[in-house]
Structure 1
Amino acid sequence: MFRSTRAARWGALLTASALALTACGGGGGGGGGDAGGTIRIAISSESLATQLVRMAADLGMFKGEGLDVELVNSNGGAQAVTAMLSGNVQFAAAGAPEVITSNAEGRDVKAIARLYSGLSGSVVLSKETAQRLGVRTDTPLEERVKAPDIPIGERLKDLDGLNIAFASATSSLKSPVISSAESVGAKVNPVYMKQENMPAAMSAGAIDALQASPPVSELGVLSAGGVMWIEGPTGQFPAEHTPTSSSTLMTTGEYIGKAPETVKKVAAAISKTAQLVMDDPAKAKANVRGRYGDVDAKIFDAAWEANNASYTQPRVTAEQFAHDITVLPKELSTKEVLALDPKDLIVPDEFNPTDPAPKS
């Protein structure tokens, strides 16, 4: 027996593109300071989790703050952060673990905003793995894109020994899988690759499962013949192993000192975009719809209704990062990580975006 899920509604999201990261600007923080110039933001993927910053650019929120912003697609969160630390871009959109591990390594990286609250990624088993576990793979597609109604503990135990693909070692989508599996005595073998390459790797038998955001998770079912196993967007992972966000906007402490007014304007643009999602969801929806033009209208409508609230909580807090440190897998929970003060991982209040207020 299967239950309906919002991840399934993204079944036709097959239009994500993987663009190479463009190395722009010089080292030492690059351009785009308070004196003017282009601000560059590296984005980890084309997935659902990055849409808030894309809306801010498309809907003129950055421009309304007097900013000239260029979005640069990267091949994952680690590369986005590397581009930021090298000065090729001024901001990066990646997972919260990137903020945590960067600081543990002595780099002063600050979280500015949550771009997607909650967990956007889902685990999909390959056809061969599902069959080996006794899971039927000959059921209708609408059933295979829904997670089975099996206790989560059993599904986690079945991950033991599997080669599971993640976008990077510090992906925000990795921690819940690793730590949840560890909590039931299971151990998975991480394999790292771009999300867009995961379905092909699954079809070729190179991996047993993948953990990815829509549309890649659904593509693992639709094109690779896999089976949805654990869904992040519907809260199927244990809460104590689930991070507070899937995508975080960040910059360096050095850049904040160099261009404080620019950082404030970026935060303001994110706040206004989140407010627009709440006040004028039709406009926000139309913008996101433009990036998924091949998706059936009914599927997209249902997906938007299920997910748009994840864009309306951009404010970052020390409490969020205190929790996210606790859900890191053992391999990332180093003594340096555990010694961090969560208050040092977020921007000071003057740079922190505000969560939107409901209409009066």
Structure 2
Amino acid sequence: MIRIVRWTALLAAATLALTACGSDRGGGSDGTIRIAISSDSLATQLVRMAADLGKFSDEGLDVELTTSNGGAQAVTAMLSGNVQFAAAGAPEVITTNAKGRKVKALARLYSGLSGSVVLSKETAEKLGVRTDTPLEERVKAPDKPIEERLKDLDGLSVAFASATSSLKAPVISSAESVGAKVDPVYMKQENMPAAMTAGAIDALQASPPVSELAVLQAGGVMWIEGPTGQFPADHTPVSSSTLITTQEEIDKDPDTVRKIAAAITKTAQLVADDPDAAKANVRKRFADVDQKIFDAAWEANKGSFVQPRVTAEQFAHDITVLPAELATPDVRALDPKDLIVPDEFNPKDPAPKS
């Protein structure tokens, strides 16, 4: 029940506005560096901490954060020149390069997978799953082999945030590995529970608190939990959020790119060295959450903010877990080393505390 209460409170805070910082310094045409972020979820907090805690301004940068309707929109804003950086999933880096647009992964903002699959009440009942059990049971995935749960997804319409969402690949490719075929539907995560209630989708794959909302308010049943590692490792990407920039931006303003990386490095180091300060900053954006509930949520997520360095090995793995529809010949021909920034721009993972 602690978990239920925790996410119930987080749901109440999910719509809190997140603010940007800024004055007149930086490398943009008007002195402002703009970063488009895919969502307001925990997966983006490393960038938000860097802004709030002065790590960007320490580098002489004036940064403005804007929230987009998913990673695809954030990358589109970057490619159109409206922003210099975007926070989105690794698949956005891979597929954009495969289409001939040179973008580079600059930092890993959140390591691990946050998304979970939730079945609608009607779908669960068709599969013989009880939906009249207590909430504490419905917010936990069933004690059933993962292969069987994946096979049960065959033919279901499953909502994802976008065609290239980092949360989509583990569902599609894992299902394909057991001979199941999922029918993807795309919509904003915040709209998924309502679509489930209306019977428009059979299931969804979303991050907290949306996944819990689908259980608590839409009557769904938790089916596969991403945060606890229930998806097969060989079908799971290594990160849920990546900071991206274009090769053009690197060539045009390498000093700013270098400073952004430095700010991310310092923020990750702060999380490692002074987690209480980092926690206090994130707490401001979830001010309505009960303290004990927030404490539990922070403990479960803080370790995902301290591995910002990007590597070719990460992308080599993430290419292998793409669903068949995205694993085109152009994708398979990519060299993972070409998907990340040169070492001079690459953030460093925090050094061990002395």
TM-score, normalised by the number of residues in structure 2: 0.94
Q: Give 1:66-85 correspondences, 5 Å limit.
A: 66-85=60-79
CA contact (8 A) 2:26 2:60 kept: no
Show the counterpart of 2:21.
none
- Report the CA distance shift for 1:34/1:81 in structure 2 as closer, same or farther (over 3 A): closer
- Give, in whole Å, the separation in 2 of the partners of 1:149 and 1:288: 34
Show the counterpart of 2:7.
10
Q: Give 1:1-360 correspondences, 5 Å limit.
A: 9-14=6-11, 15-17=13-15, 33=27, 37-360=31-354
- Report the CA distance shift for 1:355/1:5 in structure 2 as closer, same or farther (over 3 A): farther
Q: SS where residue 10 of structure 2 aligns?
A: coil
More displaced stretch, 276-285 vs 88-97: 276-285
Q: Give 5+ residue unaligned stretches, structure 1.
A: 20-30
Q: SS where residue 9 of structure 2 aligns?
A: coil
- Give, in whole Å, the separation in 2 of the partners of 1:83 and 1:207: 29
User: For this pair of structures, how many residues does the alignment match?
Assistant: 347
**What amino acid maps onto 1:12 in structure 2?**
A
TM-score, normalised by the number of residues in structure 1: 0.93
CA contact (8 A) 1:115 1:314 kept: yes
**What amino acid maps onto 1:17 in structure 2?**
T
- Give, in whole Å, the separation in 1 of the partners of 2:236 and 2:121: 26
More displaced stretch, 31-40 vs 209-218: 31-40
Q: Give 5+ residue unaligned stretches, structure 2.
A: 18-24
**What amino acid maps onto 2:48 in structure 1?**
R
- Give, in whole Å, the separation in 1 of the partners of 2:4 and 2:264: 25
CA contact (8 A) 2:16 2:285 kept: no
- Give, in whole Å, the separation in 1 of the partners of 2:349 and 2:2: 27
CA contact (8 A) 1:124 1:209 kept: yes
- Give, in whole Å, the separation in 2 of the partners of 1:36 and 1:88: 12
CA contact (8 A) 1:6 1:234 kept: no
CA contact (8 A) 2:26 2:32 kept: yes
1:293 to partner: Cα distance: 2.2
- Report the CA distance shift for 1:35/1:70 in structure 2 as closer, same or farther (over 3 A): closer
More displaced stretch, 35-44 vs 277-286: 35-44
